[in-house]
Amino acid sequence: MLSRRLDSLAEHGLVLKKKIPGQKGFEYFPTKSCHELLPIIRSLGDWGMRWARSNLTEKDYDVELLMVYLKRSIIKDQLIGKETVIRFKFTDIKEYPDWWLVVSDDDIDLCVNDPGKEVDVYFTSTVKTMADIWMGDTTYKRATREDHLKIVGDRYLTRNITAWMANSIFTDLPSAQNI
């Protein structure tokens, strides 16, 4: 149903649909007319996140969607050098448990096959743990302290991850349960 709605938005010129290179999914980008709707869309997102977050089950966490969001969350100018390679290992999935983000001056590539490059930061966790961190329901430090997350890499990159990988725009939004 969501795919049909997104296709309809693309047909009507509200979003641009682009294939994700090397992946089976698509990315959607707002057009100029859609930008005028962004305050309304943001309000709907706020409402949805307040009321849906408390009802999520393990089946609702999608690694592919999470990785697309993490890719979009990279703040390239906060990384040092021409290239940074970040590897994610998800312990709770069998198909495609390993993901890489290869960040260069020109682009950010999302890979499910080893790109054969030296890894700068390794993350090992469940999909839910990474999603909870990205959504602001927990922190990197808390997840690490509680043994839900393992991070290995250069101290410059691992001590303040949110400086180069932003959390969701909904991070500070409380759940409807907390209102």
Instruction: Return the domain boundaries, the chain.
Output: 2-55, 61-163
pLDDT number for residue 102: 96
Specify the pLDDT at position 9.
87
Domain 2-55 matching CATH 1.20.1250.20: the answer reads no
**pLDDT at residue 44, rounded to an integer:** 84
pLDDT value of position 92: 93
101: CB partners within 8 A, 6+ apart = 67, 70, 71, 74, 85, 86, 88, 108, 109, 110, 111
Q: Which strand (E) or helix (H) includes residue 72?
A: helix 63-73
What is the second-level CATH architecture of the domain 61-163?
A: 2-Layer Sandwich (3.30)
pTM of the model: 0.74
Q: Distance between alpha carbon 76 and the CA centroid of its chain, in Å?
A: 15
| Residue 30: HSE in the Cβ half-sphere, 13 Å Cα cutoff | 10
Q: What is the pLDDT along the chain (179 residues), one digit of tens a residue?
A: 667 888 888 899 988 999 888 777 788 888 999 889 888 878 887 787 777 766 666 776 789 989 999 999 999 999 988 999 999 999 999 999 999 999 998 789 999 999 999 999 999 999 999 999 998 889 999 999 999 999 999 999 999 999 999 988 777 766 655 55
**The two three-digit tokens of residue 168, written as one number:** 């969701």
Which H or E run includes 122?
strand 121-125
